[in-house]
Structure 1
């Protein structure tokens, strides 16, 4: 389906001395109608009148100094029947005819659009692209944030080949057995490294809490995704009525801490 570029120009009328003018008005330009529609559409235009037209033309002594001819119909859009379903489906469409169409292939498969025939060209709302041919190879596997492939990588992989990923220390793979596989030139399956939570002494002091079961490092702990940590109030403070419970879980780098007052 070819794109359409519509040029709007003004018909320019030239004022001439009445004594030398052969004709003081112009009729419709040659080729008006299906090929070009003057706006406003009149039978006669006086000196000084302006109209929207297919291109620039000048009225001189009752004659147009340039004739622009346009195509008065459109053939079926490119890709009809193979990647487009047309409504109505005809071999020829007149200027101004509108169609509804659906995409049968490509990235817009299943989408619907509209098109209008203008001077032999189709103006459309979406493009129905051809289905791309499957690729036999993939390039290097994609980068994983906070992780990497297990082992080296190559510049080219055959369809069906897989690579395994690992995460940095304290990060957890999601899904746990994380492979990406080359399929038709694309690496399939999303993989994420879930973030750990860090709880340190300074942060707990602001909440008036401490670990109920202290780790080996009394002042700091790294909790991986899914880990549960139990806290308790320090000194004679008590859990605030608006606080979360003492037992909290690390969820992808986020852990809500209880507050004692």
Structure 2
């Protein structure tokens, strides 16, 4: 920071001294090949307190040094310009996981930024994860497998019910079958499964629509509405129409 002294004369030729503070700016540095500035910079200089952030252009390179620099009041940067270096491979296999395992990989050694997915043994649930990532030669990612939680009673299904009577408590991986009421058809399902304290599985019961008309022949047509859903429409000889929402063989 520089101090600048001005002499100001008024109409009576009286001298006044005014002291101004001049704040230095930092010049945006030139970056070597492979290193890029990710901060939005519109000028070749930025003010005190502002920051520049750097990144490597190649995904298999990493920043060495401070990735973010701050412009100081003396016009200098807070740290030297970072550099980009080729990241190391992970030559050790993914580390073991108690009560779990890594899914088999197809590459060895693993490259920088490669991910390995882990799964827990039966009756165990995962906290954290499920991936470990190779970062410059080391495996990064925290997870553990612990005994999975059970579930309470299965959730209510509108216009449907469970096929059998329910219990107060279910174990991890237990499942319950649902059915829909008369004049309703099921979408998804028919099972919900207890997964580490939560019931999973999407089920809906959709009402079959019926109308009365007079027809002389049986007709079956398939139509698609503006929502993209397909319906199978059945006309019988008594003039009754059944409309079913269908999933497969859509137009």
TM superposition score normalised by structure 2: 0.39
Select the structure with the greater relative contact order (CA < 8 A; seq sep ≥ 6).
1
User: Whose strand proportion is higher, 1 or 2?
Assistant: 2
